[in-house]
DNA sequence: TTGCTCATGTAACCTGTTACATGATTGG
DNA sequence: CCAATCATGTAACAGGTTACATGAGCAA
């Protein structure tokens, strides 16, 4: 899964600005993808050069101008090629589990604290995802809703697992 | 979490070769970290230049020579600094959830197939992790075992969630 | 008046992936 | 005889992060 395909997928739904795309990634994609301005803006320029998207400048008053991007026919083809390509394995990077692995080199109190913090962090994430789901769900397809629900349930399971192992 | 810290952590347990380090990462770290020869060998050279590890060449017959790396006092200090630094949030990249999100643009049969494949993939992963756990557990601390058990349970929960949502 | 939201962008840096190169031994 | 295991390494490429730059409006 390339960032280019992710951006094409978002623009395939509707025309949007780079700012909108990053917002969507940071909210409803947060549990399975990551992107920032530093990665999304360059990708949009690249896609424009390749003719996969077109840009329309929208002049605004009292606010900065917007670059509204739309997917082209060539972009749709590329996106469909992606959709039919083999699914890549999931990648997980967990600093939390790395700390836990080396737990014997830290005082027990500190490990307990790290576990508590991880539970809190995940409870925060599940709350955010749930509230974002409420915001977006009217405009979501059943598959998109499913995707959010899986995220919510995954976080909840993780929290349960950590609570179960809390206190050895 | 930098790859340098991960390598120092592995060498903190005992002196090992680059090959051993990659093997460990590919087996018992597989559910929370990723690394390959192309990333680990350069990191070892870098750590050696910085004086965080030392290299001892072991001549073997019938096999290529080994470079056995050991952590230095300076390396231990660096690793302990890492252990006491703030825990970074987990990062997840899931091509599977990206496909599911765009499910409406694929025939229903294909989505069902993608879900089945993801369940199979995760069942494969949980089996591998369990068998690796059996191989390594004699030499593992209770925290290291906990780390594996969390991985196994996480995969199982994910499988349950997918099965629950299978067929909408 | 402080900080947030909207809105775009880039340059320097760091890091990782892929593909290549080498080569003997061992197991099925 | 073929594939896997052991064992190291690099060069070219691709990619992302961080920090910076700009700037108006608005709410507390």
What are the tens digits of pLDDT across the range B44-55? Answer: 999 999 999 999
Contacts of residue A57, defined as CB under 8 A and 6 or more positions apart, other chains included, come to A65, A66, A67, A68
Residue of least CA–C1' distance to D6: B63
Of the candidates B81, B156, B150, the one whose C-alpha atom is nearest the C-alpha of residue B122 is B156
DSSP state of A111: H
Q: How many angstroms from the chain centroid is the CA of residue A110?
A: 30
Question: A116 at the B interface (CB within 8 A)?
Answer: no
Residues B81 and B84: their CA atoms lie apart, in Å, by: 5
Residue B4 has pLDDT above 80, yes or no: yes
Q: Which residue, chain included where needed, has tokens 């917007």? A: A66
The secondary element (H helix, E strand) that includes residue A64 is none
Note the pLDDT of residue B25: 96
Residues A82 and A7: their CA atoms lie apart, in Å, by: 12
- Written as six digits, the tokens of B77 are 């200090």
Residue A168 has pLDDT above 80, yes or no: no
Residue B62 has pLDDT above 80, yes or no: no
Task: For residue A117, give the nearest of B6, B87, B93 by CB distance.
Answer: B87
Note the pLDDT of residue B117: 96
- Written as six digits, the tokens of A27 are 């909210």
Min distance B124 CA to chain A CA atoms (Å)? 12
Residue B37 has pLDDT above 80, yes or no: yes
- Tell me which chain A residues have a C-beta less than 8 angstroms from the C-beta of B12: 102, 105
Which nucleotides of strand D lie under 7 Å from a protein CB? 6-12, 15-19, 23-26
Buried b or exposed e, range A95-123, using 16+ CB within 10 angstroms? bbbbbbbbbebbeeeebeebbeebbebbe
Residue A60 has pLDDT above 90, yes or no: no
Note the pLDDT of residue B72: 97
Confidence tier at A157 by pLDDT (50, 70, 90): very high
Residue B64 has pLDDT above 90, yes or no: no
CA of A122 to C1' of C11 (A): 35
Residues B11 and B78: their CA atoms lie apart, in Å, by: 12
pLDDT average, residue stretch B57-64: 84
- Written as six digits, the tokens of A130 are 């749930």
CB contact under 8 A, B1 and A98: yes
pLDDT average, residue stretch B115-132: 95
Q: For B78-118, how does the pLDDT look when each residue is reduced to its tens digit (9 = 90+)? A: 999 999 999 999 999 999 999 999 999 999 999 999 999 99
Question: Is residue B148 a contact partner of residue B133, using CB atoms and an 8 Å limit?
Answer: yes
């Amino acid at each position: 899964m390339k960032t280019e395909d992710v951006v094409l997928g978002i623009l395939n739904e509707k025309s949007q600005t780079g700012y909108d795309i990053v917002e969507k990634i940071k909210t409803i994609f947060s549990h399975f993808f990551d992107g920032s301005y530093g990665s999304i803006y360059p990708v949009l320029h690249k896609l424009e050069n390749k003719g996969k998207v077109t840009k329309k400048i929208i002049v605004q008053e009292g606010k900065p101008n917007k670059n509204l991007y739309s997917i082209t026919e060539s972009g749709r083809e590329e996106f469909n090629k992606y959709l039919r390509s083999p699914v890549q394995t999931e990648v997980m990077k967990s600093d939390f589990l790395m700390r836990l692995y080396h737990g014997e080199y830290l005082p027990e109190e500190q490990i307990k604290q790290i576990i508590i913090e991880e539970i809190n962090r995940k409870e925060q994430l599940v709350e955010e995802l749930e509230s974002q789901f409420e915001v977006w769900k009217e405009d979501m397809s059943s598959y998109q809703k499913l995707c959010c629900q899986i995220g919510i349930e995954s976080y909840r399971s993780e929290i349960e697992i950590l609570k179960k192992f809390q206190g050895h």
